[in-house]
Amino acid sequence: MTAINLLGGPQEFAEFKFGTRHAKLYFNDELNMKIAKTRLSVSKRLQALDDQKEMTELDNKPVKEQQAFLSKLYQDLRNELGMFFDEQFGKGAGADLYKLANHSTERMASAFFMIVKEYDELRDQRNSYIDTYYKSRKATKKK
């Protein structure tokens, strides 16, 4: 029989700070889903900004429609990121980050992706720990 050790092991949280805001984020199912949903939504919106086909089609529309499209895209992106940061760092955190980012939605997205990167690194550390720990146990286990 093999015991599963749930104690010890790699860290399952990360601490983040911006301005006066500070949060210790525990990577559990709830946060994992929020990160995944926000990551998908933010990535799709950022892709739309880089989509040459969509931008070419937009060129054929009146200037007011072009401006409305871009304004809505940035507003939706800012709202999505703002909600994520408000949920994780407290009410108003999204607005605070937007101010600290010099009113740059893309810099807000960069801050979000820093959290994603940390999450990915912690997941890799956990998986490596599990592989190493249980492979070494299996190797020393009597047959």
Whether the per-residue pLDDT at 70 is higher than 70: the answer is: yes
pLDDT of residue 10: 64
Give dist(CA 57, CA 40) in Å, integer: 24
Interval 15-67: pLDDT, tens: 999 999 999 998 888 999 999 999 999 999 989 888 888 888 888 899 999 89
pLDDT of residue 8: 63
Measured in degrees and rounded to the nearest 5, phi and psi for residue 18 equal -145, 135
Give dist(CA 37, CA 1) in Å, integer: 38
State both tokens at 32.
Answer: 């994992």
What percentage of the chain has pLDDT greater than the value 90?
Answer: 53
State both tokens at 37.
Answer: 């949903």
- What would the mean pLDDT of 77-83 be, rounded to a whole number? 96
